[in-house]
């Protein structure tokens, strides 16, 4: 049974998480952070969130927006306050100067520049610090940032829209529309959330997608095209010069003349080949070096398989429509990843499910200490 203090801290932390999510798509490579200043009766005095990369951190926004005295009050924040100079001064110093008496945080910052240093600075100044409120929820909120800091690799979510029998397109490659409009709106939210979308040349040739974000107030993710031999037409929509960054992954055997056909605004990552394809693991490491911290896949079964088999995938997001295609020649969300025994299956941990006007959205995590390739 939770006591009153624990219940109130949980309530306020959920508010922090909700505030932090307002920064989705705008703060990368920084974490999502929300902060709430409150009094001894748990009344909210002020709140703020990290609104955009380079802007004030959540704690500073909360302090600046306060319309009454905050000295002697408490602040709750989903991530340990920073202790170093970056784009902005240290938040730990600000809280000390503001006379905050208590800091409640959800988790320790995984960034080595900060990790426990902010907490130590606060404690040394005589401020009471409590860590671990809704810690798992806070870690889920910043799963991308955590992987970036710990592994220096992009967080990758495999996104699929499929029938109940696992088909993402007909044998002719047609996929419009397997899922309903509600699911498609949810996909737009994902496009806004992730730094980039990756697709393959097969999808470009079959669907000629735009890969833009059509959510109100959203922003277009970087477009990454995996095209070993540059089969895609340079006139495809994904190559439009519309202000969106475009990165093309290809073989290092592709000629400079062939690359020049795609326009000067295109960035190329030239990869060594593995079994006739651009090395996906090499490519994804190179993408991280170009500043991409999270990637959503919107591609066919072969590229999905390559990413999963490489051990680079972190999450599987499936939108499942209540339909059965029943054609063994139809396209599956993962192709060529044949396991002969049930014991050889990849195991995922389901972390959420949601009903979307009849469709089902399922999110599962790779790894998690399970029997996987990772």
**What is the residue-level pLDDT of the chain in tens, covering all 374 positions?**
779 999 999 999 999 999 999 999 999 999 999 999 999 999 999 999 999 999 999 999 999 999 999 999 999 999 999 987 767 788 999 999 999 999 999 999 999 888 889 999 999 999 999 999 999 999 999 999 999 999 999 999 999 999 998 888 888 777 788 999 999 999 999 999 999 999 999 999 988 999 999 988 889 999 999 999 999 999 999 999 999 999 999 999 998 999 999 988 999 999 999 989 999 999 999 999 999 999 999 998 899 999 999 999 999 999 999 999 888 878 888 887 777 788 888 889 999 999 999 999 999 999 754 444 44
State the DSSP string of 69-132: --TT-EEEESSPPP-S-SSS--HHHHHHHHT--EEEESS---STTTTTHHHHHHHHTT-EEEE-
Q: Which backbone phi and psi does 56 adopt, to 5 degrees?
A: -55, 145
Answer for the pair 104, 13: CB distance below 8 angstroms, yes or no: yes
Active-site annotation, residues: 59
Distance, CA of 336 to CA of 360 (rounded, Å): 25
Structural class in CATH, domain 153-365: alpha beta
CATH T-level topology, domain 4-143: Cytidine Deaminase; domain 2 (3.40.140)
Q: Return the structure tokens found at 192.
A: 């806004």
Burial of 321 (0-12, 13-18, 19+ CB in 10 A): buried
Q: Return the structure tokens found at 352.
A: 């959420």
Residue 369: HSE in the Cβ half-sphere, 13 Å Cα cutoff: 0
- Which sequence spans correspond to the domains of the chain? 4-143, 153-365
């Amino acid at each position: 049974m939770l006591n009153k203090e624990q219940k109130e801290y949980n309530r306020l932390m959920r508010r922090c998480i909700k505030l932090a999510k307002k920064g989705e798509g705008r703060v990368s490579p920084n974490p999502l952070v929300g902060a709430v200043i409150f009094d001894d009766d748990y009344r909210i005095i002020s709140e703020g969130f990290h609104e955009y990369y380079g802007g004030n951190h959540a704690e500073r926004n909360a302090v600046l927006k306060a319309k009454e005295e905050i000295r002697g009050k408490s602040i709750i924040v989903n991530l340990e306050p920073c202790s170093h100079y970056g784009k902005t001064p240290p938040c730990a110093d600000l809280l000390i100067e503001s006379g905050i008496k208590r800091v409640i945080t959800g988790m320790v910052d995984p960034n080595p520049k900060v990790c426990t240093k902010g907490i130590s600075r606060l404690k040394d100044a005589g401020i009471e610090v409590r860590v671990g409120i809704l810690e798992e929820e806070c870690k889920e909120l910043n799963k991308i940032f955590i992987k970036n800091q710990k592994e220096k690799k992009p967080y990758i979510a495999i996104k699929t829209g499929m029938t109940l029998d696992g088909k993402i397109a007909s044998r002719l490659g047609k996929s419009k529309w397997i899922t309903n409009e509600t699911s498609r709106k949810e996909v737009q939210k994902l496009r806004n959330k992730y730094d980039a979308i990756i697709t393959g040349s097969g999808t470009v040739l079959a669907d000629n997608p735009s890969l833009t974000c059509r959510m109100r107030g959203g922003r277009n993710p970087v477009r990454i095209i995996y095209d070993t031999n540059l089969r895609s037409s340079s006139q495809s929509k994904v190559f439009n010069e519309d202000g969106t960054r475009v990165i093309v992954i290809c073989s290092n055997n592709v000629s400079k003349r062939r690359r020049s056909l795609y326009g000067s605004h295109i960035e190329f990552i030239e990869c060594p080949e593995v079994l006739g394809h651009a090395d996906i693991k090499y490519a994804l490491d190179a993408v991280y070096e170009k500043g991409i911290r999270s990637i959503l896949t919107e591609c066919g079964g072969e590229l999905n398989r390559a990413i999963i088999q490489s051990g680079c995938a972190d999450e599987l997001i499936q939108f499942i429509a209540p339909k059965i295609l029943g054609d063994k020649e139809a396209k599956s969300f993962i192709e060529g990843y044949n396991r002969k025994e049930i014991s050889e299956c990849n195991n995922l941990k389901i972390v959420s499910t949601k009903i979307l006007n009849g469709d089902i959205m399922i999110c599962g995590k790779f790894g998690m200490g399970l029997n996987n390739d990772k």
